[in-house]
A and B are shown apart, each in its own frame.
Chain A
């Protein structure tokens, strides 16, 4: 059933550069057909190098990978025939119009004239660029360029779609529209999506499963819920109105959960085994102790907490080579 196989299988994939570190250092992963797979990591973690290898634009120096059943090294042309890719840089010709980009790419893909027109028009409509289709792309906004790039990646009706940081630099509205389109592709068309991102929210919202990559290695993999559950229970932070009541608040909260470090100096925190369901008990305990609250926060673990737990760094600062704030577990 190779023809219907939209999966991605990667075993021990390595890319070492001459006199440099291993950008990708022996990763294993499997993406199921029709799945949106998030590949999360900071700049320089190895995300784009992985995409370049899986799209056949960079030969690996070790390991194997199959995309839609085809080996990325031995069957490069077959892989290219079944994939679409929107790479990190939105590479458009500023002197060509949106429609001319479609014509160029469609003719290089070998589509008939009728098919070029039909698919081009449909995709321009789908990404909302009909009105701008005959304008040179040099005048497009960042969001329009990204949408055109995505539409061009879909021109060959790919079975597997690679999106390398597709929403970087987009405003919230454009980002949300793109997320919607990607989700629709997987849901309705059964397209397998390999999505790299450094945005936690993006991975959380879109991906069924997420792999976290750091320094070329996958440090965690699973559904967002599994990954978050893996690092512990939610915490609640109570900030008393009067700082002198911190001790009383800590004593009251200790009866409900396990004390832990509070995010702010003014608050006290406990880990809740029952999560949000324990909140009424928290409020009752604090009320019973006569603590007047200024703020009460429930902190669900985030993918950033997962990244922090697995690498000892926050994803936000990792791109700048920030030092570990906690030792890795």
Chain B
């Protein structure tokens, strides 16, 4: 057990160092969701007047969006890093050591999770500057960051699965628009009951991204909403577990050491 934890720690340290040494990739990942947030909150203010819209500013309603966006970027970062390891042969270098597949995968997503932590912290500061009032208070800010890191971890796991399956960075980047589409087919812009188009509402209801967003949003506009938080944390754990399980299976095919 100790050896396994050491291995995870070593791979995680490398993943974090690698992520932090790519400021060119890290900065846009943090800034782009903020820009989108500015566009949403400025352009959809009229939604506040819809009957049934929560009794909050649209800025506060939309504030969960960048936290979710950064998780989507985590998919790309973790997936691309893994794909590069496969392409460069670094994975074979690791395969010559006694490291286990699951340890390798868990360690690999650490960089993306740390990126999620840095981004979420930056968004909290931004929220404080623009006057976002988090209904759950100071503890709510902390849990918001924690949930954001969990979601980033889960989506980074999806990135790994794509990378291990495809074995190249282009495939990971190609999957990114698809993930972005799942975001837009969620309750990111409006509460689900207020979505008028039936098929869109049905898709948003079936889309796990809606519940992850609503978990984060609940802290901002509702306060301590246990069911919403349980769904948010539970789904992110489920996605992470499934993604790592699939990645581990795929890794056995990719890394056929005897």
Q: Which A residues have a C-beta under 8 Å from some C-beta of B?
A: 55-59, 72-74, 76-77, 79-81, 83, 85, 87-89, 91-93, 95-96, 100, 103-105, 107-110, 136, 152
Contacts and interface: CB of A to CB of B under 8 A. Distances in A.
Contact of B10 (A57, A80, A91, A108): A108
Interface string B221-258: 00000000000000000000000000000000001111
Contacts of A96: 14, 17-18
Nearest to A59: B258
Contacts of A104: 10-11, 13-14
A77 B14 contact: no
B74 to A, nearest CB: 18
Interface string B6-22: 11011101100110011
B90 A92 contact: yes
A102 to B, nearest CB: 12
B14 A81 contact: no
A78 to B, nearest CB: 10
B257 A56 contact: yes
B10 A56 contact: no
B132 interface: no
Interface residues of B, number: 28
5 contacts: A56-B258, A58-B256, A77-B98, A95-B17, A96-B17
Given A57-B256, A91-B91, A108-B94, 9 more contacts: A56-B258, A57-B257, A72-B258, A91-B93, A96-B17, A100-B17, A105-B93, A107-B10, A110-B3
Interface of B: 3, 6-7, 9-11, 13-14, 17-18, 21-22, 88-99, 255-258
B98 A108 contact: yes
Contacts of B14: 93, 96, 100, 104
B99 A87 contact: no
Contacts of B255: 57
A39 B256 CA distance: 24
10 closest cross-chain pairs (CB), A and B: A76-B258, A91-B89, A108-B97, A89-B89, A107-B10, A91-B90, A95-B21, A95-B18, A56-B258, A91-B93
A107 to B, nearest CB: 4
Contacts, number: 77
B96 A80 contact: yes
Contacts of B18: 93, 95-96
A58 B258 CA distance: 7
A104 B13 CA distance: 9
Contacts of B92: 57, 87, 91
B96 A55 contact: yes
Given A91-B92, A95-B21, A107 B7 contact: yes
Nearest to A72: B258
Contact of B88 (A57, A72, A85, A89): A89
Nearest to B95: A57
A89 B17 CA distance: 23
A104 B256 CA distance: 22
Nearest to B88: A91
Contacts of B17: 95-96, 100
Contact of A108 (B21, B99, B258): B99
A85 B90 contact: no
B98 to A, nearest CB: 7
A87 B89 contact: yes
A55 B97 CA distance: 11
Nearest to A91: B89
Nearest to A77: B98
